[in-house]
Amino acid sequence: MSSAVDPAAAAIAELVHAMSTPGPLGLLTEPPLCKVSSFLSDGQDSPSVTVRLEEPFWFSNAHIEMLVHCAQLQCMLEVETVGQHAAPRRLDEVCASRPIVHELLDALCADAETLQPGTGLMPLLDESGLSSTCPLVAHYLGDPDKVYRDESVPVVREYLEHVSSLNQLLCIARQLRADVSSGRHKYTAHKIALLYHSINSSKLARDVLRRRIEEHFEDVKEATESEERPVLPEELRTWIVGLCDEVIGLVCELPPSLRTKLAPTHRYLRQWS
């Protein structure tokens, strides 16, 4: 006895099979509905675009270039010379195996000559404080028997992790505020969980903000998981907006707890302002 096949189910099955079968899709051969621009198709007539993937964001000022080049070189030397499987190596060996290290050294020397002609790179690193921020760079360029590491000064990796966590916290708070204010409530609990995690990472008023989130997180989760297109109650929307405003304000005010790791870079930039 044969059973009737639902036409809709058969069509779905056929579509799924077509999507999982290797080969060009028929839709890809169809002409576009609207040709917006000939930029990609007419290569000869299109204007050229300069692609900058390796240059620092700030490259118009020599002191910024030196800061960026020094930080990049510090990170490269950490990878090449520090770690469980890394053995001490001479600088010429590192340059031979990683040409980018040699390029960064040349760029640093050029930056120093632009900033203070005739002074030399190492004296400028000491004078500016970069020898403490980038101790591996100073070790290879200066006195190998001198300890350049200052425990009170965060190294480049600590600085980058600190700034990254603050930026992540600020972005999540702004996005969450915008979504709740615009009526996009479905994934609010997930975004609050991300905000909670970012607060832990940044250590910004951690105990206070975590308690605030824990007060109403279950309420938000329950309100957003019950329907396909949930709408948060007014009191929860107001609470979330206030929480995000508090986080944004704290990051922008840069309380003393956040300034410590930023202080060396701030001092360095003020020298050239």
> For 152, which DSSP code?
T
Residue at 183 is within a domain? yes
Residue that is last in its domain, among 153, 168, 203: 153
Residues 116, 173 within the same domain: no
Residue at 22 is within a domain? no
pLDDT digit string (tens) for the chain, length 273 residues: 445 555 545 544 554 455 455 554 444 455 655 665 555 555 555 556 666 566 555 445 788 888 899 999 998 888 877 664 555 678 888 888 888 999 999 999 999 888 888 888 899 898 888 888 899 899 888 888 888 888 878 788 888 888 888 899 999 999 999 999 998 998 899 999 999 999 988 888 888 999 999 999 999 998 888 778 888 999 999 999 999 999 999 888 877 777 777 788 878 878 776
pLDDT tens across 185-206, in order?
A: 988 999 999 999 999 888 888 8
Q: Is the pTM of this model over 0.85?
A: no
Kindly give the interhelix angle for 99-115 and 121-128, rounded to the nearest 10 degrees. 70
Query: Which CATH number is 225's domain given?
Result: 1.20.120
- 257: number of Cβ within 10 Å: 13
Residue at 194 is within a domain? yes
- 55: number of Cβ within 10 Å: 9
Residues 245, 162 within the same domain: yes
Residues 174, 252 within the same domain: yes
Residues 244, 171 within the same domain: yes
| Count of domains forming the chain | 2
Residues 191, 208 within the same domain: yes
The Cα–Cα gap between 244 and 135 comes to 38
Residue that is last in its domain, among 153, 178, 193: 153
- Max Cα separation, the chain? 97
Domain that includes residue 77, residue range:
62-153
Residues 129, 202 within the same domain: no
Residues 142, 187 within the same domain: no
Residue that is last in its domain, among 124, 153, 182: 153
Residues 72, 128 within the same domain: yes
Amino acid identity at 271 = Q
Burial code of 149-163, b = ≥16 C-beta within 10 A, e = fewer?
eeeebbbbeebeebe
Residues 70, 147 within the same domain: yes
The Cα–Cα gap between 75 and 8 comes to 58
Residue at 56 is within a domain? no
Residue at 131 is within a domain? yes
Instruction: Give the list of residues 6+ apart from residue 81 with CB closer than 8 angstroms, or none.
Output: 88, 89, 94, 136
Residue at 34 is within a domain? no
Region for 236 from its dihedrals, namely left if φ exceeds 0, alpha if ψ lies in -120 to 50, beta otherwise: alpha
Residues 186, 231 within the same domain: yes
State the pLDDT at residue 174. Answer: 95
The Cα–Cα gap between 158 and 109 comes to 25
Are 94 and 78 spatial neighbours (Cβ–Cβ below 8 Å)?
Answer: no
pLDDT tens across 2-44, in order?
A: 455 555 455 445 544 554 555 544 444 556 556 655 555 555 5
Are 122 and 141 spatial neighbours (Cβ–Cβ below 8 Å)?
Answer: yes
